[in-house]
């Protein structure tokens, strides 16, 4: 029988700075780790025009939602196959090891600029892994846009 903590939703909030070891492993914060065994995250090389890519990390329920959203697109929409091809070729399943770390796929880590350090950024229902310098640039842009974005919640 599942415990209450196993049924509680995980919210990916806050910001964490962690090292990336020589095997490309990065620590996932304890409060972001799934309670169940053998849960895999989907890591997607997420394109960003100016800053360069980051890694977007989706828990299983968010990956399933993404697939449903893409499948719901019209087959006549050329973006549908582009998204499937891009996400399919630029993503990989990763599992947590016993130490609570994920091993970043080599090519994705290289393209995202993840060598020694990483910034894990909560997006509430998923999280991103950034090169610290790239994230600093994104953060500056986010601060500028925040007041306008928060108006959507009023």
Please name the helix (run of DSSP H) or strand (run of DSSP E) that holds residue 5, with its range, or none: helix 4-7
Architecture of the domain defined by 8-153: 3-Layer(aba) Sandwich (3.40)
Q: What pLDDT score does 145 carry?
A: 80
Q: How far apart are CA 4 and CA 7, in angstroms?
A: 5
Please write the tens of the pLDDT for every residue from 102-133.
Answer: 999 999 999 999 999 999 999 999 999 999 99
For residue 43, give the nearest of 152, 145, 118, 141 by alpha carbon.
118
Q: What pLDDT score does 49 carry?
A: 62
Neighbour-count burial of 143, counting CB atoms closer than 10 A to its CB (0-12 exposed, 13-18 middle, 19+ buried):
exposed
pTM: 0.89
Residue with tokens 């939602």: 65
pLDDT < 50 regions, the chain: 1-5
Q: How far apart are CA 73 and CA 81, in angstroms?
A: 10
């Amino acid at each position: 029988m599942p415990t209450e903590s196993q049924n509680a939703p995980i919210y990916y909030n806050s910001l964490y700075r962690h090292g990336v070891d020589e095997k490309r492993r990065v620590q996932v914060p304890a409060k972001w780790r799934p309670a169940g065994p053998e849960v895999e995250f989907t890591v997607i090389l997420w394109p960003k025009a100016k800053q360069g890519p980051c890694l977007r990390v989706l828990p299983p329920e968010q990956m399933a939602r993404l697939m449903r959203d893409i499948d719901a697109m019209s087959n006549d929409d050329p973006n549908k196959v582009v998204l499937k091809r891009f996400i399919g070729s630029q993503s990989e399943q990763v599992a947590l090891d016993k130490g609570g770390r994920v091993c970043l796929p080599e090519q994705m880590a290289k393209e995202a600029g993840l060598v020694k350090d990483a910034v894990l950024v909560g997006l509430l229902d998923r999280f991103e892994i950034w090169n610290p310098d790239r994230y600093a640039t994104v953060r500056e842009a986010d601060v500028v846009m925040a007041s306008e974005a928060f108006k959507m919640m009023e």
